Structure formats: C-alpha cells, structure tokens
Amino acid sequence: MNKNITPIQEKMFQEMENKTIFEQAQNYSFQYLNEVFDRNIFPTEEALLNLEQFNEDIPTETGNASKVLEFLNRFGAPATMAQIGGRYYGFVNGSVVPTGLAAKLMASFWDQNTAMNVISPIASKLETVVEKWLRQLFGMPDNVVAGFVSGTSTANLCGLAAARYRLLKKQGWDINEQGLFGAPKIRIVTGKHAHSSLMKAISLMGFGKQNIEWVEVDDQGRIRPELVPELDEYTLLALQAGNVNSGAFDPFEELCEKANKAGAWVHIDGAFGLWAGAVDRLKHLTKGMEKATSWAVDGHKTLNTPYDSGIMMCADEEAIVSALHMTGGYIILSKERDPMFYTPEMSRRARIIELWATMKYLGREGIDQMVYGMHERAVQFAEALQEVEGYEVLNDIVFNQVLVKCETDELTERAIQKIQDLRECWVGGSTWMGRKVIRVSICSWATTVEDVKRSVESFEQAMREVKLGDLFGG
C-alpha cells in the first residue's frame, strides 16, 4: 500500500478504478426499469415489513461496497412506490423522461456544485440556455430570469421574497438592512383555495396568515375576480395555475391587468399547471400569465424530469437578486451567470443538467404532445368513471385532475382504502367543498389508454368489495 494514503483512500481508489460497483448499480437499475411498469404500484406487505432490516446502529467498521448495494436493492427497491409507471395517480407526482433520467445519471458522476460559473461552467451555461427556453416556451418577456431550485415550495418562497423586497423598497424600507421589525405593511391577497406551499411561504416570509385578504372562489376553485379588492402598489396578489384538486386556473389576464394598473406584484403558483401554457390546445388556460411578476413551477411534475427540479421565474431581476443576496471575500464573480444569485442555496447539485436534457430531447412538439396526452387520459378516466355505479365526477376536466366522490364521505374513504389495497393503481384522498373526494392526478407520460382501463376496472372492483363487505358485515 502507498504509505502516503490511508487504507480507506486506497479502498475507494480501487473502487473508482475497477468500476465493479457501478456496473452492479447499473444492473440493479435496469432490472428495476424492466419491472416497474407492470409491478404492483404500492409496496407489498412483505416489502414494508422488510424495511425493518434497515434498523441498526451505525456500523463500526468500513463495509463491503458490493454488499451495501445488494442490501439496498434487496430491501429498498421493493419498498418503492412505482410512480414512474402509468398507474400512479396519487398527489401530483410525475414520471421521468428516459433522457432526463440518463442525464441525471451522468450528472451524478460529474457531481457539480452550481454556486458559481467558476465552480461549474457547464451548469452556468445550461441554466442560461434553459432560462431562455422557458421564456420562449411560455411567451414571457426577455427580462424574465430563472432560478433552479428543489421544487415549487422553494420557488414560491423565492417569488415572495422578491415581492417583499420590492414592495417594501417602494415604501423606502430596505429589508436586508432594516429587517422586518417596524417595517411598513404589505397586503397579501389570494383565493381561498391557495395551495399549502404558498401558505408556508407566506408564514416563512413573516407576512402572517392572519393578514391575508381572502377572496372567495367559484365552484371549480378559481378566484372570483369581481370579489378581488382594490389593489395598490403595496399589494402582493397570489394566483394559481392549476388548482391542486380540480386543476382549474385563475383568470390571469383580467387580474394581471388590474394589478399592473395598480402597481401591485402578481405571483403565480403554477407547480403543475403552468406547463399548460406550452400546449397549443391548452394555452387558453394560462392566457395573460406573462403579465405577472413572478412564477413558480416544477419540472418533476408535468414535465416529468427526475426529482428534484423546481423553477422560479421573475420579471424583476434586481428584486430577486437583492432578496437572495450573497456576499463574501472568497466569492469569485464571473461575466457569465453565477447561479447562486437566483436561489436561496449556494451549494446545490446541478439539477439543471437533467432539466436541459429533458427539454432538449422533447422540444416544443414533444412537450405539447406529452402534456396534452395527460389531459386526454384525464378526460378518458372521467368519462369512464361516469359509467361506473357508485362514483360521481365533480369537476370540469380542464387539465389533468379528476375529482370523484361516492354517495357518502364514509363510502368515499372506504373506496379509497380498497383501491389502495388492491395495488393495481394508487389514488389519494382530499376534501372538496366540504366533501371527502378521491383525487386522480394524471402526471405520467407512461399512462396509456390501457392503464386507464385497468385503473377504472380497479375502481369497479373496489366498489364491489366495499358493497359486499356491507352486505355480509365485513
């Protein structure tokens, strides 16, 4: 052994050189892909029980890399949710475009830190390119900048941070120097169906949920524009592209014009719905969204990039950079993009690589076809369920969400549990206008006509078994 290196260094140099464990991991990964589209969606009871195998104290000695991977594959892979397949409809979790997944694998080996151009020129370049692509895809002004974060929760936080900076600056208050104590008031206006991640951002920004000026929504969950109060230049108006339950879109054009005249800041939470703006047959849903000031959207939902991939966009570059400012004597600035100025993090992985690869591969036509296909499968699901006794579809299918209820809340909850137990597909529950509902979210490129047929048949079987249980007291 080289006397100048430690035993653990020697061991890991050998692992890097012989590549065996990477080939092993690749084989496990390929095996997973071969099985995931046909396997049970939720882990089996055996797989869940086997998670107990992970309960141990931290090992004392260095282990065997191959055995570590074998252990992880044996007990970890069966306990995963098969969400990249075509029959996972719980929450709004997307599948993964193969090119993006492959790019993420390459990026894992590159292991880039994206803080500054000098640390990762490739990450800096790809962020610059994708920022331009996003403006082109959504029809946004040339002054819109983008930050690439972990998800819409963080993107919402960034948008609200930029809004807070600008709205206070208008009142002569520098939040970075003077803090929140004694700061002038900012008005927050949003609809009563605003997503919980926006509520989290409002809390973290120090606005206080009790200060929100709530606006009633219509029967689809859209904010009612005629009830929006008079706005002013100290107001943050938060809208949403895609109600998390119904999929409905707020009326952006009317409200953005009203806000722009008043000098208010408009933030759009578009976690999964903003991508409708990239689809010719759906872009009417997002008409006027380009008139907002900031936007939040996920890649890992509708665009089907690997996790985690969130995007913050802002038409006020000074506000977002000032709100997320970073200084330090050791920082080396570049004439190119230094990504850390557009996100809360300094060190973060280069998630931009798989986002770029996904968009490069799909192009405008591929994105249009993939996203519209999700809408088509949602329409198919809703129409098929309307023919199944015991279920009622509650919402207009404008995008990719289907809301379903049974005769009673208790029956709805039992149907959800039975559908989940059957493991043929997986759906989640929610509440809608005071009722318990089943929420079906079509977010996977892999969902086919046959997948929907199989899933609806599972709904039918679940209802039969629930009613049999009632009949025989089971």
Domain membership of residue 268 (yes or no) is: yes
Domain end residue (candidates: 359, 393, 414): 359
Query: What pLDDT score was predicted for residue 471?
Result: 62
For the chain, what is the domain count? 2
Domain assignment of residue 71, yes or no: yes
- What's the CA gap between 403 and 417, in Å, rounded? 16
Structure tokens at 120: 């990762």
**Domain co-membership, 203 together with 233:** yes
Burial of 332 by CB count in 10 Å (0-12 exposed, 13-18 middle, 19+ buried)? exposed
Q: Which of 82, 114, 134 is the last residue of a domain?
A: 82
What Å distances lie between residue 178 and 169, 173, 174, CA to CA? Answer: 11, 7, 6
Residue 331 is assigned to a structural domain of this protein: yes
Is 54 in the same domain as 168?
no
Shared-domain flag, residues 240 and 335: yes
Alpha carbon separation from 376 to 323, 382, 438, 452 (Å, rounded): 40, 10, 19, 11
| Residue 313 placed within a domain | yes
Whether 459 is in a domain gets the answer no
Which residue among 51, 82, 113 closes a domain? 82
Residue 395 lies in a domain: no
Residue 152 lies in a domain: yes
Q: Which helix (H) or strand (E) holds 295?
A: strand 294-298
Same domain, 139 and 13: no
For residue range 193-234, what is the model confidence (pLDDT) as tens digits? Answer: 999 999 999 999 999 999 999 999 999 999 999 999 999 999
**Are 121 and 42 in the same domain?**
no
120 and 18 inside one domain: no
Do 41 and 176 belong to one domain? no
- Identify whether residues 115 and 68 lie together within a single domain: no
C-alpha distances in angstroms, 87 versus 39, 243, 444, 451?
10, 21, 8, 6
| pLDDT given at position 331 | 81
What does each of the 474 residues of the chain score in pLDDT, given as a tens digit? 567 899 999 999 999 999 999 999 999 999 999 999 999 999 999 999 999 999 999 999 999 999 999 999 999 999 999 999 999 999 999 999 999 999 999 999 999 999 999 999 999 999 999 999 999 999 999 999 999 999 999 999 999 999 999 999 999 999 999 999 999 999 999 999 999 999 999 999 999 999 999 999 999 999 999 999 999 999 999 999 999 999 999 999 999 999 999 999 999 999 999 999 999 999 999 999 999 999 999 999 999 999 999 999 999 999 999 999 877 778 888 899 999 999 999 999 999 999 999 999 999 999 999 999 999 999 999 999 999 999 999 999 999 999 999 999 999 999 999 999 999 999 999 999 999 999 999 999 999 999 999 999 999 999 999 988 766 655
Residue 234 sits in the same domain as residue 280:
yes
Q: In terms of residue numbers, what domain contains 49?
A: 7-82
Positive/negative CA dihedral, 347, 143, 194, 262: positive
Residue 255, token pair as written in the block: 């409200």
Query: What's the CATH number where 218 sits?
Result: 3.40.640.10
pLDDT tens, residue by residue, 293-332: 999 999 999 999 999 999 999 999 999 999 998 777 788 8
Please state, for a pLDDT cut of 70, what percent of the chain lies above it.
Answer: 98
Same domain, 177 and 38: no
**Distances 234 to 55, 165, 237, 265, 322 between C-alpha atoms, Å:** 52, 11, 10, 8, 18
Q: Would 420 be classed as within a structural domain?
A: no
Cβ-based neighbours of 35, under 8 Å, separated by 6 or more: none
Asked if 73 and 113 sit in the same domain, the reply is no
Residues 200 and 112 occupy one common structural domain? yes
The separation between CA 55 and the C-alpha centre of its own chain, rounded to angstroms, equals 30
State the CB neighbour count (10 A cutoff) for residue 392: 14
